[in-house]
Amino acid sequence: MTKIANRSVLITGGAAGIGKLLAERCLKAGAYKVILWDINEINLLEAKKDFARQGYDVDTYVVDVASLEDITTAAKAVKEAHGPVDILFNNAGIVVGKTFAEHSHRDISKTIDINVSGVMHVALCFLPDMVDQQEGHLINIASAAGLMPNPNMSVYAASKWAVVGWSESVRLEMEEQNTNVNITTVMPSYINTGMFDGVKSPLLTPTLTPEFIVDKIMEAVKDNDILVQEPFMVKALPAMRGILPTRVFDFVAGRVFKVYKAMDNFVGRPKDEAVPDKEKLSAKK
């Protein structure tokens, strides 16, 4: 069981949405220090003010997790100020909602840099300290898209497949080495945070509220659960893909449950709320 009370917590993409809610839950659970990383300085300032009004003090850092230099510089500053991080939420991510052929090379690089490389580099900065102190918890926010293909989100799906495979592999390493460091991989379907505005949820797969998935994540952290897969149909995906022939699965997923049509009317966050370089990307914060 992971104790949050009197532990230090770092959350990437922590200035709004899921990240901010995770911060709030950790503060209420008694974390002695919550550290927020985000690329959006305005959102960070607002989050700090919001928490101050509730009587909490959080530390904020403007960090672009697509930049290794940003990551290592901020990680060094965090360690010098607060020592090792006990609980790390790898939450930052982006999505480009269009066919692969419509992607620019920059779309691809940015998605992989943030969703894959950024996740790994952030973890590498803090995981060795957890191993050394024989205690810690790494939570990687992946996606149900890491379990199956989906049109109009090919690079996003690829990035989440990578995160799931990496996260589970690191978990096995931690267990084999008896490090007492826990790894939790989170694979939710669509969440109503603005990141997937315009998406039509598949049959029997309701759009999740941020509060619901954060509750599930916090329960998983406290119980040292390996996976968080929500809603229920996400849990059924691996079995269905393993049992059904590919064409049959495509028919069931595409024609019956309408999974392959979910992104047809994707809008995402308004342009002025996306990442500062103003690309047509939707930032998960």
CA 81 to chain centroid, in Å, comes to 25
Distance in angstroms between the alpha carbons of the first and the last residue of the chain: 27
Residues 154, 100: Cα–Cα separation, whole Å:
6
What pLDDT does 47 receive?
Answer: 98
Q: Scanning the structure block, which residue is given the tokens 């300290």?
A: 129
What pLDDT does 65 receive?
Answer: 98
What pLDDT does 271 receive?
Answer: 55
**Exactly one of 32, 56, 156, 190 is catalytic; which is it?**
156
Q: Could you tell me if residue 257 is inside a domain?
A: yes
- pTM listed for this prediction: 0.92
Structural domain boundaries, residue 137: 8-284
Q: Could you tell me if residue 95 is inside a domain?
A: yes
Domain count, the chain: 1
Q: Could you tell me if residue 1 is inside a domain?
A: no
Q: Could you tell me if residue 120 is inside a domain?
A: yes
Long-range CB pairs of 125-132, under 8 A, 24+ apart, other chains included? 125/71, 125/72, 125/75, 126/10, 126/75, 126/84, 126/85, 126/88, 127/88, 127/170, 127/181, 129/79, 129/84, 129/85, 130/84, 130/85, 130/86, 130/179, 130/181, 131/174, 131/177, 131/179, 131/181, 132/84
Q: Could you tell me if residue 252 is inside a domain?
A: yes
What pLDDT does 274 receive?
Answer: 46
Q: Is 156 a catalytic residue?
A: yes
CATH code of the domain covering residue 158 = 3.40.50.720
Q: Could you tell me if residue 231 is inside a domain?
A: yes
DSSP per-residue string spanning 133-152: HT-EEEEEE--GGGSS--TT
Q: Could you tell me if residue 72 is inside a domain?
A: yes
In this structure, what DSSP letter does residue 255 have? Answer: I
- Taking only the tens of pLDDT, the chain with its 285 residues reads 789 999 999 999 999 999 999 999 999 999 999 999 999 999 999 999 999 999 999 999 999 999 999 999 999 999 999 999 999 999 999 999 999 999 999 999 999 999 999 999 999 999 999 999 999 999 999 999 999 999 999 999 999 999 999 999 999 999 999 999 999 999 999 999 988 899 988 988 999 999 999 999 999 999 999 999 999 999 999 999 999 999 999 999 999 999 999 998 899 876 544 444 433 333 343
What pLDDT does 270 receive?
Answer: 64
Q: Could you tell me if residue 2 is inside a domain?
A: no
